[in-house]
A = this chain, B = another copy of it.
Amino acid sequence: MAAREYGQYCGVTRALELVGERWALLIVRDLLVGPRRYGELAAGLPRIPSNILAARLKELQGAGIIRRAPRSRIIIYELTPYGRELEPVVLALSAWGFRALDEPRDEQVVTPDAMTITLRSAFQADAAASLPPTRYAARIGAAELDVRVSGRALAIARGAAETADLAFAAGPGIRRLLSGELAAQPAIATGEIELLHGPAALLDRFALTFRVAA
């Protein structure tokens, strides 16, 4: 038996043998947002050593979780259908881990892909279904996202939306907004969330749409 195997006939152990190594699920997390090049992955995981990134990409490929897709001259990594089915795992980890976050420290970065997954895991489809379609331009830390909600559908793209209904910038306060610890209007009042464009009431709608349940 390979040394790193757990010696059990069990789905959990098999899953951990495939994606349980350090950094592996973070690569999957970013690829869940979209196909990425090697350099994009490295940028989204600033602390990963390049040899580890290269090794993980090979292992994930061997396990049938990701594939290399040559596009003209550049190489793109993308999830296979089986790899995409890790989405429930990553979203569950995101929702659970989010509640263990405290205030961000200086050395902690907020990447667009990580924030996209955070919002996906916080998305309340039931609540959104009864709300009008809304487009948000959210700047959270250094990450700018174009967030479109329409009924039970959610689409998040990188970059700021040109014609958002609401544009806002948030720092650490985003955590307490998403956890429900802090309501939208107090967050604006204290400056924890800065409105850049659009009616303040739409931030209440945002808070209804995205919520990490306690």
Contact = CB atoms under 8 A, between A and B. Distances in A.
A150 B111 CA distance: 46
A197 interface: no
Interface residues of A, number: 53
Interface in A107-152: 107-111, 114-115, 117-118, 121, 141
Interface in A90-106: 90, 92-101, 104-105
* Chain multiplicity (copies): 2
Contacts of A22: 16, 20
Given A26-B16, A90-B12, A6 B97 contact: no
A85 B212 CA distance: 13
Interface in A1-21: 1, 6-18, 20
18 contacts: A8-B109, A8-B110, A8-B114, A9-B101, A10-B94, A10-B111, A11-B95, A11-B96, A11-B99, A12-B25, A12-B93, A13-B97, A14-B100, A14-B101, A16-B97, A20-B20, A20-B22, A88-B95
A10 B121 contact: no
Interface string A21-47: 010011001000000000000000111
Contact of A12 (B97, B104, B110): B97
A16 B101 contact: no
Contacts of A29: 12
B86 A89 contact: no
